[in-house]
Amino acid sequence: MWGRLPHIFYFCRLRIDVNEALEVIVTEELDRLAYDLVELRTAGSRARPTLQLRIDRRDGAPITVSDCAIVSRAVETRLEAEKKVGPEYVLEVSSPGIERPLHTVADWRRFVGQRASVLSPALQGRAEVEIVGVEGNEGAESVVIRTAQGIEQRIALADVKDARLAFTW
């Protein structure tokens, strides 16, 4: 026992980012149908994975049940043709909801004038703010926000950890 080195086993598997491969397929199908992918999540188990899509219309109209059905059928057909998921999977397609996440520069521009809940070190945590605008060159954009005290502030989008539209009653 003493004097012997312990056995250490290290297992390494090459892993292709499944979410990235799925996102490419889903985005291509949504582009073909003129929808945008807001969020892609995977959940469930290996035996029965769940793929959750949150979509938005490019024309700004609200997402309907019919939109979800159209996208579901198209994505399902493509996923099964490319065998990117097993035979037992769940596909959930929905609108992004009233507290829609803001991920891209286009999201921020689209929702100028609306309120958002933003998490950033520049705000010392999370704060509810008004989106005033987006400035800067591609890849180095900053969002201009107005705090509850009426103070305008610029925050680099790279410094935003999480942002969602804010719903107020």
Q: Identify the pLDDT of residue 143.
A: 96
Domain CATH number, residue 140:
2.30.30.100
Q: Identify the pLDDT of residue 4.
A: 56
39 alpha-carbon distance from chain centroid: 3
> Per-residue pLDDT averaged across 2-23, rounded?
52
The reply to whether 9 falls in a domain is no
Supply the range of the domain harboring residue 83.
18-94
The reply to whether 5 falls in a domain is no
CA distance 143 to 83: 40
* Per-chain mean pLDDT for the chain: 86
The reply to whether 100 falls in a domain is no
Same domain? For 30 and 84 the reply is yes
Q: Identify the pLDDT of residue 18.
A: 55
Same domain? For 48 and 75 the reply is yes
The reply to whether 6 falls in a domain is no
CA distance 4 to 59: 69
Instruction: Fill in the DSSP letter of residue 61.
Output: P
Q: Identify the pLDDT of residue 95.
A: 94
> Per-residue pLDDT averaged across 39-66, rounded?
90
The reply to whether 54 falls in a domain is yes
Same domain? For 23 and 90 the reply is yes
Indicate if the pLDDT at residue 130 is higher than 70: yes
Let me know: does 51 contact 89? Beta carbons within 8 Å: yes
Domain CATH number, residue 58:
3.30.300.70
Question: What is the number of domains present in the chain?
Answer: 2
Q: pLDDT tens digit string along 62-93?
A: 999 999 999 999 999 998 888 877 778 899 99
Percentage, residues of the chain above pLDDT 70 = 89
